[in-house]
Structure 1
Amino acid sequence: MAMRIITGPESIQGSPEWLAWRQQGIGASEAPIIMGKSHYMTPYSLFKIKTGITLPAKPNPAQIRGHALEPKARIAYQQLTGNVVVPTTTEYVEIPFLRASLDGMTFHEDMIVEIKCPGAEAHQSALNGVVPACFADQCQQQLLLTGLQKMHYYSFDGEDGVLLEVVRNEARITEIITAASAFWDHVKSGTWSTDEWAAAAAEWIMANRAVEHAQETEKQARAILVSMLANDQSKREGSGVSVTRVVRKGAVDYEALLKQKGVDFTEEDMEAHRKASSESIKVSILKEAKETKAAPAAVASSVSNLAKAPAPSASKPVLETVEPRDEGFILTV
């Protein structure tokens, strides 16, 4: 087996020691970012975190929910499969900067599980028999580290779960190693040697789309709340929210007022009383970028001496499988 199991304080997921260990490598959950499959972060954003230029963002509500549900989901998985699994922290012996914090591994080390408590769209994908593309590369990196031929993906909505089987994809693993090696070279040198403007632009486009999505979601939720405010109500409060009806006077048309009072003025008069100018910078998405809505590109690199994935462990059975499509693994149990 090509992995080394981490013990001691570094093995406790979420501890300061574990966070420091994770910062010194590429975790399996970061593989989709490097491969350009993440909806929430670009490779350039991750580079800035790994080099200490920026700090990691605080967990969002979805991440907090997923973390809180994970123990319940693990119990549900164990009851479904009969597998007793424990969280395990590992790194790859041949390429130590490749790492993984496994949600569960059996005591015989012959099966691992990736547990997700995702949003409705990702869970529906699992119900349809497809591992979402934003999680697929995470599974492949875990298979690389453990030397296994297959693993479980368990999607849990808080009450019910769906179990999928993911098979090892050697071609994709090679691509992950190639991109991860190139990315780690950037981190070690402290420079992003590709077009930094393009990287920064991709980062901003992703953030802008997240803001637009959040604004649209807020707009819809606001409309529902406002519709519940009766016409004779000026205010309604409850469940941590206040909805208040406010009536404001309209703006005064000073130009019309002055003309009505017989006060004439010219453009020159207006310019003479104009306040100091101010400067602003507008950043917008070009039409072609709006139309494509492409995901950020993966880290590109020529194949290095690390780019060839080692063969899986001889002690593991070789399975005949159908190569998964790029958008997800359509393998169910």
Structure 2
Amino acid sequence: MRIVDLSQRSPEWLAWRAQGVTASEAVVILGRSPYQTPWRLWAEKTGLCAPADLSQNPFVQRGIQCEDNARRGFEERHQTWLLPVCAESETHPLLRCSFDGVTETGEPVELKVPGQKTWDAIAQQGTESLAYGLYWVQVQFQCFVAEAERGWLVFDPVKSKVNPLEFEILRDTDFIEQKLVPVCLRFAEMMASGQAPTPDPARDYYVPQGEQQAAWQRHAQAYRRAEAEASRLEQALQAVKSRLREAQSGLVDLMGDYLLADQNGVQVLRYRQRGSVDYAALLTEIAPDLDAQVLEVHRRPSTMRVKVTLKDDPAAAEEGADAEQTVAVGEGNPSSRAKRRRRKEPEPAVDAVDATEGSSDEGDIIFGYF
């Protein structure tokens, strides 16, 4: 491998990573990541989409804070030293690694500081766990760049009286030569040529092309105007409803203990309505061991929902807050009213973990700098 003199997490390091394919990106490029797609990664690296800002993510912050302790722990257990270094492949310089550490014998060591859910899954499932499968690809990439016959994958929670989980990962030459390297090199070519990977309609953004761009802009501007008008009307409606509540309260106060009134064309009926049954609590009480699949049999049909988020648009947006509107469409019973809320801060960039996208039990598996 060829050592590159860069300080990790520096602006120069970020630029260097952006111009090549890194070990942490390999699992995405292979289509194995549940958090990001090859198209999304390509779009971020070519500037079409902004990458998510993970700097405030607590898992990322803790990983950075604990990395040195995890490195020292490995050094003490194996009586070696680890050199955190950046390097490129001698044969394919576009394939790049930012090693957490390389041993005296040139073996890469990938250090992870997992969250509790990820730790529990690895402790229970071992090499069958999601985290192991994702990071196994990363270590294989590192073995290729480092020209090593094996590497190490270490999950260290950096907690007293908790032993790290270490996996010795042997170099899989067939996987590297027949799949990993060709696919990553092809991705690098697509970055250079501007040819996009095939997007996944269920996970990737739709990007209008050709005449569709003008049509999208036309509909987007119409939506903004309609949303602005709906917002003004809603504010007026809320003011009217407030007057209605005030007048009703006055009528009820005048009635005292009476339940009925009918004067001047206004009839008031006061009545008590029974509370609804908490079916979740009822099921827990009468059938605590009920199989979830039994409930699925009685679930009503799903509905398709659409969420439209208005972001800052100097050309068309009004001054002030962004607006978000959610409406129900498609099968089932659509909602009769849209849910709208005003937000003072712009929405953060969407990530595939994403997120999400990134909203699974393994949400503390973060891909990026580590």
TM class by shorter chain equals 0.5 to 0.7
Matched with 1:5 is 3
Matched with 1:105 is 102
Spell out the pairing of 1:8-87 with structure 2 (5 A cutoff).
11-59=6-54, 60-87=57-84
Compared CA separation, residues 106 and 202, structure 1 to 2 (3 A): same
Structure 2 residue identity aligned to 1:65: R
Matched with 2:112 is 116
Matched with 2:173 is 170
Per-residue CA deviations over 1:35-91 (Å, capped at 9, x if unaligned) read 222232221111111101223221222111111110111111111111211101111
Could you tell me how far apart the structure 1 residues matched to 2:157 and 2:325 are?
A: 45
Compared CA separation, residues 39 and 135, structure 1 to 2 (3 A): same
The 8 Å contact of residues 49 and 56 in structure 1, kept in 2 or not, is answered as yes
Give the count of matched residue pairs.
220
Q: Secondary structure at the match of 1:184?
A: helix
Structure 1 residue identity aligned to 2:101: G
Spell out the pairing of 1:295-314 with structure 2 (5 A cutoff).
none
In structure 1, runs of 5+ residues without a counterpart are 206-248, 264-278, 287-294, 297-333
Matched with 1:183 is 187
* Alpha-carbon offset, residue 100 of structure 1: 0.6
Could you tell me how far apart the structure 1 residues matched to 2:7 and 2:328 are?
A: 42
* Alpha-carbon offset, residue 261 of structure 1: 6.5
Matched with 2:203 is 202
* Alpha-carbon offset, residue 179 of structure 1: 1.9
Per-residue CA deviations over 1:262-321 (Å, capped at 9, x if unaligned) read 59xxxxxxxxxxxxxxx97769999xxxxxxxx99xxxxxxxxxxxxxxxxxxxxxxxxx
Structure 2 residue identity aligned to 1:73: A
Structure 1 residue ranges (4+ consecutive) displaced by more than 6 angstroms after TM superposition:
283-286
Q: Secondary structure at the match of 2:192?
A: helix
Compared CA separation, residues 260 and 39, structure 1 to 2 (3 A): farther
Compared CA separation, residues 75 and 151, structure 1 to 2 (3 A): same
The 8 Å contact of residues 117 and 156 in structure 1, kept in 2 or not, is answered as yes
Q: Secondary structure at the match of 2:26?
A: helix
The 8 Å contact of residues 38 and 197 in structure 2, kept in 1 or not, is answered as no
The 8 Å contact of residues 122 and 132 in structure 1, kept in 2 or not, is answered as no
Q: Which has the higher contact order (CA 8 A, sep 6+)?
A: 1
In structure 2, runs of 5+ residues without a counterpart are 207-241, 252-261, 267-323, 332-352, 355-370
**TM-score normalized with structure 1 length:** 0.58
Could you tell me how far apart the structure 2 residues matched to 1:20 and 1:186 are?
A: 18
Per-residue CA deviations over 1:90-122 (Å, capped at 9, x if unaligned) read 11121111111111112342x221000012233
* Alpha-carbon offset, residue 180 of structure 1: 1.2
Structure 2 residue identity aligned to 1:202: R
Spell out the pairing of 1:89-238 with structure 2 (5 A cutoff).
89-109=86-106, 111-128=107-124, 129-130=126-127, 132-159=132-159, 160=162, 161-173=164-176, 174-192=178-196, 194=198, 196=199, 198-199=200-201, 201-203=202-204
Could you tell me how far apart the structure 1 residues matched to 2:98 and 2:330 are?
A: 37
Identical amino acids, percent of aligned pairs: 31
The 8 Å contact of residues 39 and 134 in structure 1, kept in 2 or not, is answered as no
Q: Secondary structure at the match of 1:77?
A: helix
**Whose Rg is larger?**
2
Compared CA separation, residues 260 and 33, structure 1 to 2 (3 A): farther
